[in-house]
Amino acid sequence: VWIYSTPKIALKDVTVRTSYQGSDGLINYSTLIEGNGEVSVTIIDEDGKVVATGSGANGEIKIPNVKLWQPGKAYLYKFEVAVSENGKQVDQYSLNVGVRTVEVKGQEFLINGEPFYFTGFGMHEDHVVLGKGHSNQFLVNDFELLKWVGANSFRTSHYPYAEEVMDYADRHGFVIIDETAAVGLNMSMAGGVFGGTVKPTFGPDTCNDATQAELLKSIRELIQRDKNHPSVVMWSITNEADTIPDASYEFFKPAFDLTHELDPTRPNTYINVMFATIDKCKVAPLADVICLNRYWGWYVDHYDLESAERHLDAEMSLWENKYNKPIVITEYGADTLVGGHSVHKLPWSEEYQYDFLEMHHRVFDKHPAIVGEQIWNFADFQTKPGIFRVLGNKKGVFSRDRQPKAAAHLVRARWNKIGNRKPKK
Q: Which one is catalytic: 38, 331, 350, 351?
A: 331
For residue 38, indicate whether it is catalytic. no
- CA-CA distance, 346 to 349, in Å (whole number)? 6
Tell me how far apart the alpha carbons of residues 371 and 152 are, in angstroms, rounded to a whole number.
13
Is 240 assigned a catalytic role?
yes
Q: How many Cβ atoms from other residues are within 10 Å of residue 74's Cβ? A: 21
Catalytic residue from among 38, 179, 240, 350: 240
Q: Which residues contact 37 (CB under 8 A, 6 or more apart)?
A: 9, 10, 83, 84, 85, 90, 91
Q: Which positions are catalytic?
A: 240, 331
